[in-house]
Structure 1
Amino acid sequence: MSNLFTSLLKARQEAEEAGPVDEWGGNPLEVNVNEQFAGLEYQSVYIAMCCIVVWPIIPGIGFLYGGLSRRRSALALLFQSFMVSATITFQWMFWGFSLAYSKSAGPFIGDLSNFALRGIMSGPSIGSAALPDILFCFYQLLFCAATVQIVIGGAFERGRIVPSIVFGFCWATIVYCPIACWTWNPNGWLFNLPSLDFAGGGPVHIASGCSALAYALVLGKRKGHGTEGASKKAHNVTLVFLGTVLIWFGWFGFNGGSTLGLSVRSLLVIFNTNAAASAGILGWVFVDYIRHKQRFSIVGACEGAIAGLVGITPAAGYVSPWIAFVIGFITAGICALMENVDGWLGIDEGMDVFKLHGVGGMVGSFLTGIFATSKISMLDGATEASGALDGIGVQVGRQLADICAVSLYSFVVSCVLLLILKYIPGMHLRITDEAEEHGLDRDQFHGEEIGDTDIFEEIAKRGLSVDALIGQPHKGSSTEQVQGEPKKD
């Protein structure tokens, strides 16, 4: 993320040298704290609108995961999208923002100078002097919440809800916040390397993908993994499509707001986001079309869109629209070809979080080092960022350093954290085999299921199968019984 208003930040630094500055931006009982942003109010309006656009990503991931899972475990994934949002809001207010974005942070993690949002109100933010602290804090909160929601996918169909929420709180504290500090805090070591990460290739995608892989590893494989009973076939393609639509919509604010202000560059970023998602669909469908003998997949198209969005995230503010299209196509194609990555690794990560976010984030970050050009980054009038395309070949090496550091740290620390939680009394990470067989929803919820419960209960009473309902007689039942009234004794 870049600071569009270097001159304002410099003026603030000069004022700090001249004397103490009220971190609240002034006492609102004595002065009008809005005057310091006079003439720049439109910047706050733009980022506030981006916040509103970003929020649907969180329930969107819930819809996506719920649709991809089997019906009997779908409700838990919808529920967790709200629980994650609520828990991470508390974590971010408590100490998360301070650990990631305190102005006195070290190269690896922030301090607690802004503990419990102390000093966070109307003062100019660390990201942009044109934005109040409280707005910048809220925008970054949404990034953290969306990332934790992605990570929860690693518990696919077998992770208990309470431990997953505890893990999410701890993970945000010791994994996300440090990596966000490395990447986006002006004191962070990756920021000063410099590694180029426009909107979260490392903190959001590589970290969440590798952590979800660690979650799946520690939980172990699903019961019957590899058999028909543990099929990865989505139970509700409509939910998958709806979730993808919300995620794609939210990504316009996710990337578009990462300029931290309105400029020609932010408008280009929005265009690049759409171009990469569209190219991702084409890339994934192309692979599917060949692999499945000229047949299509809506789920594949949705995964392609997400892969394209993931690939462009670190590069969106550094590349032209045609390069964004290429990045989206390449990222989706590579992710689609990684269909058997779970088998290669011997880990049952059934939600494809590592494939889409981990691998996709790595590809996008690497390609950023190749295609970044200052001709694009300077569209905001302040940010100069170059890659191999501008003759700065060393940037590719810096991106590789970023990829290795983030992936190793997130995977190892997540494993250690999960193993610690696993052996805490009462904090069993995984449901029992019996509960898994009946479904996560029935074990973790009381009297609620996805879909029309009455219909499914009636099907069970009559001993019918879904095949019977669509015109294929079930063994032990006549076609007459399916189509008409049940026979009386």
Structure 2
Amino acid sequence: MSFNFTGTPTGHGTGGDSLTTDLNAQFELADMVWLGVSAAGVWIMVPGIGLLYSGLARKKHALSLLWASMMASAVCIFQWFFWGYSLAFSHHTRGHGFIGTLEFFGFRDVLGAPSADAAVPDVLWAGFQGMFAAVTGILMLGGACERARLFPMMVFLFIWMTIVYCPIACWTWNPTGWLAKLGAIDYAGGGVVHINSGHGALVYALILGKRNDPVTHKGMPKYKPHSITSVVLGTVFLFYGWLFFNAGSAGNASIKAWYSMFSTSLAASCGGLTWMFIDYFRLKGKWTTVGLCSGIIAGLVGITPAAGTVPIWASVIIGILTAAGCNFAVDIKSLLKIDDGLDCWALHGVGGCIGSALTGIFSADYVNATAGTYGAPIDGGWLNHHWKQLGYQLAAIMSSIAWCMTCTAIILLTMDRIPFLRLRLRPEEEEQGTDEAEIGEFTYQEDTVFIPEPIRSNITAKVPEMSAIDDKIGGDDEESNTVNKQSIETPSTASKEIENEK
């Protein structure tokens, strides 16, 4: 028995009756495979951010940040299904491209019609873009580092994705969005993901206030990362996922996808080297691992809005300038006494602005044309003598910042006045740590889990030769070695002394 496909795809709604119409016939299967793989690759960034944040935090808050990454994935993907995709990528918009309708509410009719990216169906585009929403959500929560209650965080994230993220995604990536029609370029999320999450985190940090620090009552609390290993592992996950993040944003398996993949790698590498060398001269000749990882992330952020439209050589400039700017932004944050302990604003907010502005300078029409018949032509940036493009980019930057910061502040200030949605932990809970106060589980088990056996007087122990003791003690200090030798007693010696005392 086989299907009798005699119908024709409708191009709207579900795309047609799947029992009578081969909905796949209108798409290239290779494009669908690539975008599906990219969606899975982008998701790995979510736990990667959790590992990065957890490693940068103190040990008593480490598990809560891993928890936050998985929570953000769950909340954002549910929100995306509920109405997020419809608000951002419905086929019709309201308010002259301001927000989508609810035509896809609860994924109604999300199936085989061409999506905003006509090369793939709605159901695939929705899944791919849902991963972007999850990444943006967990990045933004970095502003709550070590002092936010977790239930209000979940409520806030759902509301924030609805009121802040979805409209900006609609403006920028929906073909009928007002920024898209204006001509602003945001290839993979410099504004939608990074400017948005970075400035949302900034407002979250400002409204929560600085962490309680008994040592620096007036200054800014500053703690060493508790696990550099987690920072490195998180950066590895992010770098890997970002290759899918940017290359998948081509929406197809054209040359543009592979071009943007190498641009991403190059910008990240140049960013990592730049930050590391800056820290080398600032920190008296130390090649800092955290600096290297921070620079890699800064380079990735900077190239995100530009990867599919700028020449590969421009990736070097973008990586260097973004890393240097983000490094400087960390100092500005400290100068302004903003307690953003995970540097979400400095890396993503500032880095996204720098990358978006440079997109207006280095975009080239011939690079964008590598998408072939899949792409739409652009006028390019300053390389094509299209001077207005930088103005379009600045309009996108400023409008995204204004909307994000205003709406985020209103949401948080309103929630904080509702008793059961109080945002911040109490001082004694902060001292305990979020892991103990809010979760009751810990990243590291430090309690003794065994009971040592008692010393028994009837057991005779063989005293080791002093030469063997010397090998175990080691060291060049003769006096300390003598003390250590004298302090070594066998169980039988200790029991004899007890019997003599009796």
Fold conserved between structures, TM > 0.5: yes
Moved more, 270-279 or 340-349: 340-349
**Alignment pair present for 1:450 and 2:450:** no
Aligned counterpart, 1:3: none
Once residues 300 and 183 of structure 2 are traced to their aligned partners in structure 1, the CA distance between those partners, rounded to angstroms, is: 23
**Alignment pair present for 1:32 and 2:22:** yes
Aligned counterpart, 2:76: 88
Aligned counterpart, 1:47: 35
Q: Is the 8 A contact 1:215 1:414 kept in 2?
A: yes
**Alignment pair present for 1:257 and 2:245:** no
Moved more, 333-342 or 170-179: 333-342
Q: Is the 8 A contact 2:12 2:114 kept in 1?
A: no
- What pairs up with 1:29-178 in 2 under 5 angstroms? 29-37=19-27, 40-106=28-94, 107-128=97-118, 130-178=119-167
Matched-pair identity in %: 43
Aligned counterpart, 1:430: 424
| Residue identity matched to 1:425 | P
> Structure 2 vs 1, CA of residues 25 and 291 (structure 1 numbering), >3 Å: closer, same or farther?
same
Once residues 32 and 98 of structure 2 are traced to their aligned partners in structure 1, the CA distance between those partners, rounded to angstroms, is: 29
Q: Return 5+ residue gaps in structure 2 as ranges.
A: 1-7, 452-474, 476-482
Once residues 393 and 26 of structure 1 are traced to their aligned partners in structure 2, the CA distance between those partners, rounded to angstroms, is: 44
- What pairs up with 1:229-378 in 2 under 5 angstroms? 230-378=221-369
Aligned counterpart, 1:466: none
Once residues 190 and 215 of structure 2 are traced to their aligned partners in structure 1, the CA distance between those partners, rounded to angstroms, is: 31
Once residues 35 and 323 of structure 1 are traced to their aligned partners in structure 2, the CA distance between those partners, rounded to angstroms, is: 38
> Structure 2 vs 1, CA of residues 62 and 225 (structure 1 numbering), >3 Å: closer, same or farther?
farther
Once residues 406 and 215 of structure 2 are traced to their aligned partners in structure 1, the CA distance between those partners, rounded to angstroms, is: 26
Aligned counterpart, 1:406: 400
SS of 1:92's equivalent?
helix
Aligned counterpart, 1:462: none
Once residues 267 and 449 of structure 2 are traced to their aligned partners in structure 1, the CA distance between those partners, rounded to angstroms, is: 41
SS of 2:414's equivalent?
helix
Offset of residue 455 of structure 1: 5.5
SS of 1:311's equivalent?
helix
Q: Is the 8 A contact 1:281 1:302 kept in 2?
A: yes
Aligned counterpart, 1:379: 370
Question: C-alpha root-mean-square deviation of aligned residues, in Å?
Answer: 2.4
SS of 1:340's equivalent?
helix
Aligned with 1:396 (options 390, 401, 417): 390
Offset of residue 28 of structure 1: 1.7
Offset of residue 333 of structure 1: 1.2
SS of 1:318's equivalent?
coil
| Residue identity matched to 2:107 | L
Aligned counterpart, 1:196: 185
Offset of residue 452 of structure 1: 3.0
Figure out how many residues of one structure are paired with residues of the other and give that number: 448
Once residues 231 and 80 of structure 2 are traced to their aligned partners in structure 1, the CA distance between those partners, rounded to angstroms, is: 29
Offset of residue 325 of structure 1: 1.6
Once residues 12 and 21 of structure 2 are traced to their aligned partners in structure 1, the CA distance between those partners, rounded to angstroms, is: 12
Q: Is the 8 A contact 2:49 2:69 kept in 1?
A: yes
Offset of residue 299 of structure 1: 0.6
Offset of residue 225 of structure 1: 7.9
| Residue identity matched to 2:410 | V
Offset of residue 294 of structure 1: 1.4
Once residues 449 and 431 of structure 1 are traced to their aligned partners in structure 2, the CA distance between those partners, rounded to angstroms, is: 18
> Structure 2 vs 1, CA of residues 457 and 180 (structure 1 numbering), >3 Å: closer, same or farther?
farther
Offset of residue 338 of structure 1: 2.1
SS of 1:338's equivalent?
helix
Once residues 373 and 42 of structure 1 are traced to their aligned partners in structure 2, the CA distance between those partners, rounded to angstroms, is: 27
Offset of residue 375 of structure 1: 1.3
Moved more, 271-280 or 225-234: 225-234
Larger of the two Rg values belongs to structure: 2
Aligned counterpart, 1:11: none
Q: Is the 8 A contact 1:287 1:337 kept in 2?
A: no
